[in-house]
Amino acid sequence: MTGIRVADLSYSYGAKTALDNVSFEVAQGAFCALLGPNGAGKSTLFNVLTRLFVPPEGRIEIAGINLNTQPRAALAKLGIVFQQSTLDLDLTVRQNLSYFAALQGIAGRERANRIDAVLDRLQITDRAREKARTLNGGHRRRAEIARALLHSPAVLLLDEPTVGLDAAARASITDHVHSLSDDGTTILWATHLADEVRPDDRLVILHQARVLADADARDFQGDASLQDAFLALTA
Amino acid sequence: MTGYLTSLIAIITREALRFVHQRERFVAALVRPLVWLLVFAAGFRAALGLSIIPPYQTYITYETYIVPGLCGMILLFNGMQSSLSLIYDREMGSMKLLLTSPMPRWWLLMSKLLGATAISILQVYAFLLIAGLYGIKMPAAGYITVLPALIVAGLMLGSLGLLLSSFIKQLENFAGAMNFVIFPMFFLSSALYPLWKMAESSELLHDICAVNPFTHAVELIRFALHTQFNGAALGWTLLAAAVFTAAALWGYSPEGSGIRRRS
């Protein structure tokens, strides 16, 4: 079973084409980096994958479930970290997680247990009672990743999750999310920074609405650095 | 069903928490109608003669007349306030959490609507309490019979807010919407003056007032506060609520034309 399957996907804003016949697959439990410069169409692709937009053409499967025909079942398999923070800054970390768990239909003791587990997993248990407003950027991102994992999604989407973070926080978040794929979670990590991609990662390069490359990062870069190979392809 | 209930409770709790965090919003929501009641109505009392019209069975003071309209005003402003908070949620990104939840979107939006209506009704009762302390009292049973009327009127005005939020692109555009929605709705209604008074000035304005759903919401509240039932007002208010809700749900659907504005 594939984690994510996208086939023949197109999307336009009026006359401007944002996605042009995009197709790719991510195997279950794989870490896939969606690399593309600003304006490549990454955020549009995320909006389509999360059904905020419905594309006129193309097919999307999340963990084998067709997003168009079974949207609720597919969304239930999806954990999402949006580029823009979606924490309620006036609520504590635990309240934010609790609210999200309820939107997933998780209640009672199970909700409390799951919140404890993800806080521990992201190493922010000591921040649980703090208001989101008081957290630094790195901890806010951790809280959002913890929240996205609450319902044990099969697929985790992260849209440029390290934007605005300092180097240490960026490295820490990148390492941590890479480790999440070890337990079988499929990861799609959108970024415009080549240094966040590792040789073992699956790599999809999106540029000017089209997929320019779909390969293992190691194979794609060859003897060059990934940064150089990426710049050569998108120049 | 548990999932539905869980999400409903969570959304209402969040609305309540947000309200508690914004005490000034509660004060503003109360001060506005109280200024109308204690200042405007006092000034207008002498200028505006009222005949005996249903549901009143005797001559009433102007203050008594405008209380239902001011209850409607609280619901109207709260409907717009919830619209504002939805637009804010969208700009801040937290609306995406709702829209990507596996729970049905209509249910989540209805939960939002119910939460906002519940908070509006609490404010109406706080206003009625202060008005009562000031000496403007309704029949005792009226405070109970008005509750279903407030729920229907609150849902109708909340759904109007929901509809507006699905079509207003940015927070900055909200002030314009306020001018084009709140003020015409409020002044072109029976909130401040009976419709026959309006007819004396202009038949056209009277006709506009008569089709304004806010007029019917106010009349529904007015009759209910005097323990009477106004079937026509209920029908029109429910119809408006159904139309606004259906349009808002369409606006928020992935297929709705408004969805691209929520990127």
Say what the pLDDT of residue A127 is: 94
Test A53 with B98 for CB contact under 8 angstroms.
no
Shared-domain flag, residues A167 and A55: yes
**Are B120 and B79 a contacting pair, CB within 8 Å?**
yes
Q: Where are the domains of chain B?
A: 2-255
Shared-domain flag, residues A112 and A67: no
Interfacial residues of B (vs A; Cβ cutoff 8 Å): 2-4, 6-7, 9-11, 13-14, 17-18, 21, 92-94, 96-104, 108, 254-255, 259-260, 262-263
Concatenating the DSSP letter of every residue in A44-59 gives HHHHHHTTSS--SEEE
Provide the shortest C-alpha distance from residue B12 to chain A (in Å). 10
Shared-domain flag, residues A25 and A97: no
Number of folded domains in chain A? 2
- Mean pLDDT (chain B) is 85
Shared-domain flag, residues A109 and A65: no
Test A88 with B102 for CB contact under 8 angstroms.
no
How far does CA B217 lie from the centroid of its chain? 8
Cis peptide before B194 (omega within 30 of 0): no
C-alpha span between A208 and A224 (Å, rounded): 23
Q: Which of residues 143-202 of A touch B (CB under 8 A)?
A: none
Which residues on chain A are in Cβ contact (under 8 Å) with B259? 52-54
Of A13, A75, A103, the CB nearest to B10: A103
Q: Which of A152, A167, A196 is a domain's end point?
A: A152
The DSSP bridge partners found for residue A57 are: A10
C-alpha span between A88 and A143 (Å, rounded): 11
Q: Which of A152, A167, A183 is a domain's end point?
A: A152
Say what the pLDDT of residue B242 is: 96
Say what the pLDDT of residue B54 is: 72
pLDDT band of B90, cuts 50, 70, 90: confident
Test A52 with B94 for CB contact under 8 angstroms.
no
Provide the shortest C-alpha distance from residue A98 to chain B (in Å). 8
Shared-domain flag, residues A175 and A222: yes
Kindly state the DSSP code that residue B60 receives in the 8-state scheme: -
CB of A224 less than 8 A from some CB of B? no
C-alpha span between B129 and B148 (Å, rounded): 18
Beta-carbon contacts below 8 Å between A and B: 87
Shared-domain flag, residues A57 and A164: yes
Q: Which residue has the tokens 């999806």?
A: A78
CB atoms within 10 A of CB A210: 15
Cα-Cα-Cα-Cα dihedral of B263, B3, A104, A30, to 10°?
-120
Test A73 with B21 for CB contact under 8 angstroms.
no
Shared-domain flag, residues A48 and A137: no
CB of A95 less than 8 A from some CB of B? yes
Higher pLDDT, B112 or B47: B112
Of A78, A82, A107, the CB nearest to B2: A107
Shared-domain flag, residues A194 and A216: yes
Test B93 with A105 for CB contact under 8 angstroms.
no
**CB contact set of A158 (below 8 Å; sequence gap of 6+):** A80, A81, A145, A148, A177, A187, A188, A189, A190
Provide the shortest C-alpha distance from residue A151 to chain B (in Å). 11
CB of A110 less than 8 A from some CB of B? no
Say what the pLDDT of residue B259 is: 45
Maximal C-alpha separation, chain B: 58
Shared-domain flag, residues A141 and A171: no
pLDDT in tens, B191-220: 888 887 777 888 888 889 889 999 999 999
Shared-domain flag, residues A201 and A167: yes
Say what the pLDDT of residue B258 is: 47
Q: Which of A111, A126, A152 is a domain's end point?
A: A152
ipTM over 0.90: no
If DSSP codes are grouped into helix, strand and coil, which group holds residue B52?
coil
Q: By residue range, what is the domain housing residue A178?
A: 2-77+154-234
Provide the shortest C-alpha distance from residue A214 to chain B (in Å). 26
For chain A, which ranges sit under pLDDT 50? none
Nearest alpha-carbon partner for B71 in B228, B224, B221: B221
Test A103 with B18 for CB contact under 8 angstroms.
no
Provide the shortest C-alpha distance from residue B252 to chain A (in Å). 10
Say what the pLDDT of residue B120 is: 92
C-alpha span between A144 and B139 (Å, rounded): 52
C-alpha span between B16 and A99 (Å, rounded): 13
pLDDT in tens, B20-56: 877 777 788 788 888 888 888 777 766 666 666 777 7
Shared-domain flag, residues A143 and A158: no
Best mutation target, A86, A90, A157, to test chain B (most B CBs within 10 A): A86
Q: Sort B231 into a burial class: Cβ within 10 Å, 0-12 / 13-18 / 19+.
A: exposed
CB atoms within 10 A of CB A174: 21
If DSSP codes are grouped into helix, strand and coil, which group holds residue B120?
helix
**Are B220 and B241 a contacting pair, CB within 8 Å?**
no
Shared-domain flag, residues A63 and A7: yes
**CB contact set of A54 (below 8 Å; sequence gap of 6+):** A48, A68, B254, B255, B259
C-alpha span between B205 and B194 (Å, rounded): 12
Concatenating the DSSP letter of every residue in B137-194 gives ---TTHHHHHHHHHHHHHHHHHHHHHHHHHH--SGGGHHHHHHHHHHHHHHTSSSSS-
